[in-house]
């Protein structure tokens, strides 16, 4: 499967970054969640612009795009016409491309795949197409061929991304995503930013503070939330602002990635994602991580890290009920399952060096009906009152 996933072709394109791309339109006070979380971490909110501010600009831009859906539909028509005039009107091929995406998703993320089966067929296959693109991108730096990946290869991958967004897909998986982005108000920016996250993984192995880590988490995981919401859809009865739903989606990505980092401490091939300043404040260093000894200092450090990850999950929870009803169940399921990895780290006595934190089959099994129960609860009336006030 990895061979298929790692097919990187075509010439260079310069790296793009969200840094400095957009005008300054927000301040920490206007931000929804993590100024609180950043404050908790002791991170200084940079008087220039914190990562949170930069990322929030992307959130605002994505939320605004939903309002431009009609333009997107017109674009979709253009593409359909192009396919027909070029004699490529083979809908069977497109269906097959989506089916293949579904197969990859089922292989790599079984529980999530089952959840997507509850969505409408249109939405489900669009989520699969996004999933496959993300998985392939992640495999570039995390998969078996990671040691051969260069910045140039990532530039080529990004060029290929631009091509597929412009209706020139390179292979079947790209063709599925190319179709998806014409049907939903999905913007290229979060995709580009995920590639930027992969570039960071190639060149950076230490994060000085939480601000730096936050940006990395946005690149590799917060982006997934921003890509997914336009497809999953916001419930028509929701009175929450679009921006707040995107913010929750971003929070879920960040929470997942922080959890991933805490679970995988010690397995990161020389990379240390934990903020250096927080390690130092706790009297710890990289060597303590490489030695892998569970000490009192380590345990109390981990408690703080877990607390922060949970705060991001709490933020994410606020948005799930605002999603379209059929999308809520898989999101709740993934949130509850991932969140329990934090409980597992605690249950292991914070020994993430010799014990892998995982959620057992029984717990997974119990989580699914719990997620279902939460999913049937729609947009909160409370949100409605707050927004109307």
For residue 241, with 0-12 CB atoms within 10 Å meaning exposed, 13-18 middle and 19 or more buried, which class applies? Answer: middle
* Contact yes or no for 305/227 (Cβ under 8 A): no
Of 251, 276, 273, 254, the residue nearest 262 (C-alpha): 273
* 130, interface contact from ligand LST6JFWI, Mn ion, none, CB < 5-8 Å by kind: ligand LST6JFWI
Quote the tokens at residue 311: 């705060």
Length of the chain counted residue by residue = 389
**Cα(317)–Cα(252) distance, rounded to whole angstroms?**
8
Residues 302 and 350: their CA atoms lie apart, in Å, by 7
Number of residues that bind Mn ion (CB under 5 A): 2
Q: With CB under 6 A as the contact rule, which of the stretches 155-163, 165-173, 254-262, 351-359 interacts with ligand LST6JFWI?
A: 254-262
Binding partner of 319, given ligand LST6JFWI, Mn ion, none, CB within 5-8 angstroms per partner class: ligand LST6JFWI
Q: Which is nearer to ligand LST6JFWI, 202 or 282 (CB)?
A: 202
Q: Which residue is nearest to ligand LST6JFWI (CB)?
A: 319
CB nearer to ligand LST6JFWI: give 218 or 301.
218
Nearer to Mn ion, 57 or 193 (CB): 193
- Upper half-sphere CA count for residue 312 (Cβ side, 13 Å): 30
Rounded to the nearest whole angstrom, what is the least distance from the CB of residue 152 to ligand LST6JFWI in the complex? 21
List all residues 6 or more positions away from 206 whose beta carbon is below 8 Å from its beta carbon. Answer: 271, 272, 276, 286
The 279-298 site mask, x for binding ligand LST6JFWI (CB under 6 A), equals --------------------
In the complex, the smallest distance separating the C-beta of residue 86 from ligand LST6JFWI, rounded to whole angstroms, is 29
Using CB under 6 A, which of the segments 164-172, 277-285, 330-338, 353-361 binds ligand LST6JFWI? Answer: 330-338
Quote the CA–CA distance of 91 and 17 in Å, as a whole number.
35
First to last CA, the chain: 53
Q: Which residues contact 287 (CB under 8 A, 6 or more apart)?
A: none
Could you tell me which stretch among 79-87, 131-139, 157-165, 369-377 binds ligand LST6JFWI (CB under 6 A)? 131-139
Contact 115, 329 (CB under 8 A): yes
Question: Is 371 a binder of ligand LST6JFWI (CB under 6 A)?
Answer: no
DSSP 245-273: HHHHHHHHHHHHHHHHHHHTTT-STT-B-
In the region spanning residues 193 to 232, those forming contacts with ligand LST6JFWI, defined by CB under 6 A, are 220-221, 224-225, 228-229
Number of residues that bind ligand LST6JFWI (CB under 6 A): 29
| Structural tokens at position 232 | 């999953």
d(CA 118, CA 131): 16
HSE value, Cβ hemisphere, 13 Å, CA-based, for 284: 24
Residue 268, number of CB atoms within 10 A of its CB: 14
Binding mask 132-151 for Mn ion (x = CB under 5 A): ------x---x---------
Q: Which does residue 253 bind out of Mn ion, ligand LST6JFWI, none, counting CB within 5 to 8 angstroms by kind?
A: ligand LST6JFWI
Contact with ligand LST6JFWI (CB under 6 A) among 142, 268, 286, 343? 142
| Minimal distance, residue 142 CB to Mn ion, in Å | 4
d(CA 58, CA 169) in angstroms, rounded, equals: 25
Among 52, 57, 138, 155, binds ligand LST6JFWI (CB under 6 A): 138
Point out which residues bind ligand LST6JFWI (CB under 6 A): 112, 127, 130-131, 134-135, 138, 142, 220-221, 224-225, 228-229, 245, 248-249, 252-253, 256-257, 260, 316, 319-320, 323, 330-331, 334
Residues in contact with Mn ion by CB under 5 A are 138, 142
């Amino acid at each position: 499967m990895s061979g298929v996933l790692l097919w990187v072709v075509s010439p260079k394109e310069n790296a793009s970054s969200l840094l400095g791309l957009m005008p300054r339109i927000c301040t920490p006070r206007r931000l929804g969640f993590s100024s609180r979380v950043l404050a908790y971490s002791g991170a200084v909110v940079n008087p220039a612009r914190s990562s949170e501010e930069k990322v929030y600009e992307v959130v605002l831009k994505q939320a605004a795009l939903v309002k431009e859906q009609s333009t997107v539909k017109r674009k979709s028509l253009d593409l359909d016409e192009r396919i027909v005039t070029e004699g490529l009107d083979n809908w069977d091929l497109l269906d097959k491309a989506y089916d293949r995406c579904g197969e990859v998703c089922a292989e790599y993320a079984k529980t999530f795949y089952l959840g997507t089966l509850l969505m409408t067929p249109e939405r489900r296959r669009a989520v699969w197409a996004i999933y496959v693109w993300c998985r392939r991108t992640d495999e570039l730096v995390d998969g078996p061929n990671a040691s051969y990946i260069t910045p140039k290869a990532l530039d080529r991958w990004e060029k290929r991304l631009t091509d597929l967004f412009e209706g020139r897909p390179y292979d079947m998986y790209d063709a599925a995503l190319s179709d998806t982005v014409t049907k939903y108000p999905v913007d290229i920016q979060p995709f580009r930013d995920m590639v930027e996250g992969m570039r960071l993984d190639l060149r950076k192995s230490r994060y000085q503070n939480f601000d730096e880590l936050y940006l990395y988490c946005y690149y590799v995981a917060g982006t997934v939330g921003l890509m997914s919401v336009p497809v999953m859809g916001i419930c028509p009865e929701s009175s929450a602002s679009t921006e707040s739903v995107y913010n929750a989606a971003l929070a879920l990505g960040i929470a997942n990635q922080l959890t991933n980092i805490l679970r995988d401490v010690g397995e990161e091939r020389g990379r240390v994602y934990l903020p250096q300043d927080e390690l130092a404040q706790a009297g710890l260093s990289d060597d303590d991580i490489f030695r892998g000894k569970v000490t009192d200092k380590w345990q109390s450090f981990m408690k703080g890290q877990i607390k922060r990850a949970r705060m991001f999950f709490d933020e994410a929870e606020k948005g799930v009920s605002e999603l379209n009803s059929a999308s809520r169940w898989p999101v709740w399921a993934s949130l509850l399952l991932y969140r329990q990895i934090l409980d597992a780290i605690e249950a292991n006595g914070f020994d993430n060096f010799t014990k892998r934190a995982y959620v057992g089959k029984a717990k997974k099994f119990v989580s699914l009906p719990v997620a279902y129960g939460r999913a049937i609860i729609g947009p909160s009336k409370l949100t409605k009152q707050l927004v109307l006030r």
